């Protein structure tokens, strides 16, 4: 009996505990899906937050996840295209990590990456282009964390039942856990739509919302639902939609231009998938410029001009031609006209999707930012 009591007392002070993470969602909202082999815990989230901001996770120690996914920019960045740790340029814009816990697929154009855990491995180990550059440097990188007493404790708390705790499998699971907590549901639009505050939106923002939802503009056809994106799944989802779209950003080309980004085609090899890309969330869109998969549209005014024209005509560069005539272009992108007041109303509505708390929440910031 005495031995049992001693063990119980020892566990009260020293045994590892896994604390289930509590979601903070609007009333009645469904919870995101979480993989069965990576239960969401407070301890994993905290480890993931440290790793997300730690440059030692890159081979040369110069870049972290947060280097391209900055909180003030809705976990995107202000550059048109990303730059890897070795200085190699990416061909795409860093996508905002807003409500990715609800994502049904990840990256700008990949139909087979369906979990955040899978997605995390791309910047870590990808070599076309090199981002974090971990491939070939695995043991060196892991040693940086296993030799750090603070990290040994963080890994032990996050994965208390594992014999080998500092592994890339655990790194990916911890970062994925942190990224799942990047939830944005405190914008004026949310207070208006989900918390019953009829005063949260101005009259101009309401007019802009009605324009956004209208058949005249068709914005909501691709930017639909509570996350303003078709790529959404959660615990109550019966059918997962993964629609990629041609917007008319570039003209169709029969031949293949070296260095051009043909979107989903690079994954499927299906010619019908040329220039198809994901329609990302519009949450916090006013803070995640520049826009489109290649960052080629600098402002929201540019984006409105682009869709109002039904695409664009390029007269120079590697792919000149009329994107409006692309045979695969989404039929809902047909162009429209706006008065000056309507344009401003639409911009005002898009600004209502800004969650200032999300952009500055210390719980999502670098650990040392709280000190």
Read off the pLDDT of residues 104-146 as tens digits, 9 standing for 90 and up.
999 999 999 999 999 999 999 999 899 999 999 999 999 999 9
CB 314 within 8 A of CB 297: no
Q: Residue 338: exposed, middle, or buried by beta-carbon count in 10 A (0-12, 13-18, 19+)? A: middle
| Burial of 136 (C-beta count, 10 Å sphere; 0-12/13-18/19+) | exposed
343 and 260 Cβ atoms separated by less than 8 Å: no
CATH 1.10.760.10 in the chain, residue ranges: 18-184, 188-355
Query: What's residue 15's pLDDT?
Result: 52
Contact 231, 242 (CB under 8 A): yes
**pLDDT in tens for each of the 371 residues of the chain?**
443 333 333 343 345 689 999 999 999 899 999 999 999 999 999 999 999 999 999 999 999 999 999 999 999 999 999 999 999 999 999 999 999 999 999 999 999 999 999 999 999 999 989 999 999 999 999 999 999 999 999 999 999 999 999 999 999 999 999 999 999 999 999 999 999 999 999 999 999 999 999 999 999 999 999 999 988 888 877 666 678 999 999 999 988 888 899 999 999 999 999 999 999 999 999 999 999 999 999 999 999 999 999 999 999 988 999 999 999 999 999 999 999 999 999 999 999 999 999 999 999 999 986 43
**Measuring CA to CA, how many Å separate 59 from each of 135, 140, 307, 330?**
8, 8, 41, 41
Residue 239 burial (C-beta neighbours within 10 Å; 0-12, 13-18, 19+): exposed
Distance CA 190, CA 194 (A): 5
- pLDDT digit string (tens) for 325-356? 999 999 999 999 999 999 999 999 999 999 99
Q: Measure the N-to-C terminal CA separation of the chain; round to a whole number of Å.
A: 45
Model confidence, pTM: 0.93
pLDDT for 14 equals 44
Query: What pLDDT does 236 receive?
Result: 78
User: Phi/psi at 333 (nearest 5 deg)?
Assistant: -95, 90
- Which helix (H) or strand (E) segment holds residue 321: the answer is strand 321-322
> 370 in helix, strand or coil?
helix
Closest C-alpha among 114, 104, 86, 82 to residue 95: 82
Predicted confidence at residue 239, as pLDDT, reads 63
Whole-number Å distance between alpha carbons of 107 and 225: 19
Can you tell me the distance from the alpha carbon of 179 to that of 101, in angstroms, rounded to the nearest whole number?
7
What confidence score (pLDDT) does residue 6 get? 37
Instruction: Record the tokens describing residue 341, joined without a space.
Output: 């007041």
Between vectors from CA 294 to CA 349 and to CA 65, what angle results, nearest 5°? 90
Residue 141: CB atoms within 10 Å: 21
For domain 18-184, give the fold.
Cytochrome Bc1 Complex; Chain D, domain 2 (1.10.760)
Whole-angstrom distance, CA of residue 170 vs CA of residue 173: 5
Helix/strand/coil for 247: coil
Domain 188-355 has CATH 1.10.760.10: yes
Which three-class secondary structure state does DSSP give residue 70? strand
């Amino acid at each position: 009996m005495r031995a049992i009591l001693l063990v119980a007392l020892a566990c009260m002070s020293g045994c590892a505990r896994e604390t289930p993470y509590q979601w903070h969602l609007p009333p009645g909202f469904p919870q995101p899906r979480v993989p069965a082999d990576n239960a969401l815990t407070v301890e994993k989230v905290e480890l993931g937050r440290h790793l997300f901001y730690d440059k030692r996770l890159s081979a040369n120690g110069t870049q972290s996840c947060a280097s391209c996914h900055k909180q003030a920019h809705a976990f995107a960045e202000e550059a048109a295209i990303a730059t890897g740790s070795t200085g190699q340029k990416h061909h795409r814009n860093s996508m905002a990590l807003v409500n990715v816990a609800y994502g049904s697929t990840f990256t700008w154009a990949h139909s087979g990456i369906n979990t955040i855990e899978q997605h995390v491995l791309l910047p870590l180990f990808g070599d076309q282009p090199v981002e974090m550059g971990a491939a070939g440097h695995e043991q060196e990188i892991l040693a940086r964390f296993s030799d750090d007493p603070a990290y040994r404790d963080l890994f032990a708390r996050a994965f208390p039942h594992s014999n080998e705790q500092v592994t890339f499998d655990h790194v990916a699971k911890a970062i994925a856990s942190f990224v799942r907590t990047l939830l944005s549901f405190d914008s004026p639009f949310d207070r208006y739509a989900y918390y019953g505050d009829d005063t949260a939106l101005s009259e101009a923002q309401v007019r802009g919302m009605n324009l956004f939802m209208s058949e005249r503009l068709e914005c909501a056809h691709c930017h639909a639902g509570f996350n303003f994106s078709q790529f959404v799944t959660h615990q109550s989802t019966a059918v997962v939609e993964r629609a990629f779209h041609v917007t008319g950003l570039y003209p169709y080309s029969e031949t293949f231009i070296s260095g051009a980004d043909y979107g989903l085609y690079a994954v499927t090899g299906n010619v019908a998938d040329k220039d198809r890309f994901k329609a990302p969330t519009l949450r916090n869109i006013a803070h995640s410029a520049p826009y489109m998969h290649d960052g080629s549209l600098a402002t929201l005014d540019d984006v409105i001009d682009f869709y109002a024209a039904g695409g664009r005509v390029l007269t120079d560069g590697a792919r000149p031609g009329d994107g409006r005539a692309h045979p695969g272009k989404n039929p809902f992108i047909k162009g429209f006209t706006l008065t000056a007041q309507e344009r401003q109303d639409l911009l005002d509505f898009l600004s209502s999707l800004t969650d200032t708390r999300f952009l500055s929440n210390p719980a999502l910031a670098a650990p040392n930012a709280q000190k």
